[in-house]
Structure 1
Amino acid sequence: MVALPSPQQLRYLIALAELRHFGRAATACSVTQSTLSAGILALERQLDAPLLDRNVGKRVVFTPPGEEIVRRSRIALDALEALYHVAEASREPMTGPMRLGVIPTIGPFILPGLIPLVRERFPQIRLSVMEDMTERLMEKLTTGRLDVLLLAMPCDCDGLETIPVWRDPFVLALPETHPLARLSKIPLEKLTEEQMVLLEDGHCLRDQTVDICRQGHAWAGNEPEITHTASSLYTLVQMIGQGLGIGLLPRLAVDSNMLAGTGVVTRPVTGGPLWRTIGLGWRLRSPRTTEFRALATALERLAPPGADLLLKAGICRNAAEAPGH
């Protein structure tokens, strides 16, 4: 019979891969550095494969087989932990740890309501939150470092089961002195004539803004030059306030009072499907699916007044709702 690695060995390996430092990895695992080093050396001998490149000095560099074994170790360790979660959930649902990933264009605006909501509705859940961009959150979910994601859809959600909760409309943000601010509603095609400020690459809100303008024919054959990009919605609003362009903002952010004192106003836009969908996503066939659906139902309480609630539409597997659908 093959001698399998122990869960502790996998934890040592994953900690070293994430921290790239033996001392910090040992501290994270609550062991001495010599214990962690010996555990990884024993794992290499057990697998009869070099996991670390020891010809690069003091830097921690994994060999190609080592990188693949780290990836599979995360999956294996997550599967082992899932055994406990299944047993725990069978005894009492909505208990134990729940690791939530959230994107930067949702997190600051929903967490002040979400965290108290979870404490009130599910007091036995130990919620931990990680904010990052969608692509990196997806990677952490598939490798077992997160349990569920709070997403803005449409997005590339292959391999996930997703449930839409509500639609978050977009509005146009512009300086209060801008000529278009005189209008009560702004046709989408007017954006062709203006310089747009977008979030930097990697933010799904950037892709959603571009898709909206293309689908609404605002940029048909005449896309504006994008010269100003921002790393956050707060910076984007400041750029708009300084007259560097205009941009689309989700209503969820605007309702958080982020425009106060910026000289930026918002107007509704006509001529296209202008919203994103707020929802949850998790791994297909997760043993905690029932719990995540219960969390989605609770999230309805955080929807702004008048929002289109989508839970009655049911679960969308492997795809996110597209604007206009």
Structure 2
Amino acid sequence: MLDDATIVQLEYFRTVVRLGSLTRAAEALSVTQPTLSTAIARLERQYRIQLLARIPRKGVEPTLAGLRLLTALEPLLDSVGRLGSIARGTDDPLQGELSIGVYSPLAPFYAPTILLEAARLMPGVTLTLTEGDLDELPEALRRRQLDVALLYADELTPEFGIATLRTIAPHVVVAEDHRLVQAGRTSVSLHELANEPAAFLSSPHTFNRYMSFFRALNITPNIKYTSTSYEVIRSYVASGLGYSLLHHEHLTHKTHCGRRLVPLRIEEDVADSQLCAVTPTRDQPPARTARLIEVIDNVVQQFAARAPR
């Protein structure tokens, strides 16, 4: 049976993994770093496994054995924290803290509504929302720094729990006075755009995915502008500086610079993307995480219903 000291050690271990640093974990737990190191060492001796790997200039990360232990102890520590309310008969599984990560280009579409709906439907849960890219979010899930992430999951490994919410097709955007719009076109072949200037998002995963479309067609796009900002790219396009490829629909075609752009369907067969709610493992998530996924799904479906066809 676990004693109090062991439960404390396990909580220390979980905090170190989530923060990726003994120094930051010690500060968060209000203990000294030697105290934390000693607690982790005792756990490693008790279970006869190495739980953490020290990475020079980066901090620490869990070993495979450490990840297995973390997966097993999450529900245990959650239950320990609720023992008093369970004993009093007042326990509510939809209480506590949750962390959600959202892929940065998706955050303007979904983050505000997710926060509002979670506060309305899960008032006992304190929700923390962070943004990240398609490298940062999976790593944060592995470290259990996030309970769930909303992202495009096309390149994720099978270790994660993946719930597909929407399938989204990429599309071309051009300025409203572009020759294709003036000709009444609603679709375009990427071959027709081969020589036109392009403005692409420079996020590595997104950029590489779009480039793969062109490589498959033996086209070299004429890339004149790049940006990490979704809205900057939209403004470039609306100003007539070039076309772009985007995934997500907008509820308005007006851009920050005051000009409008027009979406066009891609005539070639290019790969869709899967918008997913992703959890750290394929195990059934705790009740409050499962409820949050329902909230996220409802927000995504409501947006899809309003998006222009």
Q: What band does the TM-score fall into relative to the shorter chain?
A: 0.7 to 0.9
Deviations 1:163-205 (A, max 9, x none): 22234454422234432332331322323232322222434x3
Answer whether contact 2:17 2:143 (CA < 8 A) is retained.
Answer: no
SS, match of residue 255 in structure 2: coil
SS, match of residue 198 in structure 1: strand
Amino acid at match of 1:10: F
Change (3 A) 1:73 1:182: same
Which whole-Å CA distance do the structure 2 matches of 1:279 and 1:52 have between them? 30
Deviations 1:37-88 (A, max 9, x none): 3442675588699x999xxxxxx9479xx84557865664554232244686
Which residue number in structure 2 is paired with residue 237 of structure 1?
A: 234
Change (3 A) 1:62 1:37: farther
Shift of 1:265: 1.0
Answer whether contact 2:194 2:222 (CA < 8 A) is retained.
Answer: no
Which residue number in structure 2 is paired with residue 199 of structure 1?
A: 201
Shift of 1:122: 2.3
State the TM-score, normalizing by the size of structure 2. 0.72
Name segments (4+ residues, structure 1) moved above 6 Å: none
Deviations 1:260-295 (A, max 9, x none): 434341132241457533221222013327435533
Tell me the percent identity: 20
Which residue number in structure 2 is paired with residue 294 of structure 1?
A: 294
Aligned ranges for residues 173-322 of structure 1 at < 5 Å? 173-184=173-184, 185-189=186-190, 190-203=192-205, 205-213=206-214, 220-252=217-249, 254-255=250-251, 259-272=255-268, 275-282=272-279, 283-288=281-286, 290-291=290-291, 294-305=294-305
Shift of 1:240: 2.7
Which residue number in structure 2 is paired with residue 83 of structure 1?
A: 76
Answer whether contact 2:169 2:247 (CA < 8 A) is retained.
Answer: yes
Aligned ranges for residues 137-156 of structure 1 at < 5 Å? 137-156=137-156
Amino acid at match of 2:189: L
Shift of 1:112: 1.9
Amino acid at match of 1:199: L
Which whole-Å CA distance do the structure 1 matches of 2:71 and 2:151 have between them? 22
Answer whether contact 1:13 1:70 (CA < 8 A) is retained.
Answer: no
Answer whether contact 1:163 1:296 (CA < 8 A) is retained.
Answer: no
Shift of 1:11: 5.8
- Indicate the larger mover: 234-243 or 129-138: 234-243
RMSD over aligned Cα atoms: 3.9
SS, match of residue 127 in structure 2: strand
Amino acid at match of 1:7: L
- Indicate the larger mover: 205-214 or 192-201: 205-214
Aligned residues: 284
Which residue number in structure 1 is paired with residue 94 of structure 2?
A: 94
Answer whether contact 1:98 1:128 (CA < 8 A) is retained.
Answer: yes
Aligned ranges for residues 132-171 of structure 1 at < 5 Å? 132-171=132-171
Shift of 1:136: 1.7
Answer whether contact 2:110 2:299 (CA < 8 A) is retained.
Answer: no
Change (3 A) 1:197 1:158: farther
Unaligned stretches of 5+ in structure 1?
A: 54-59, 309-325
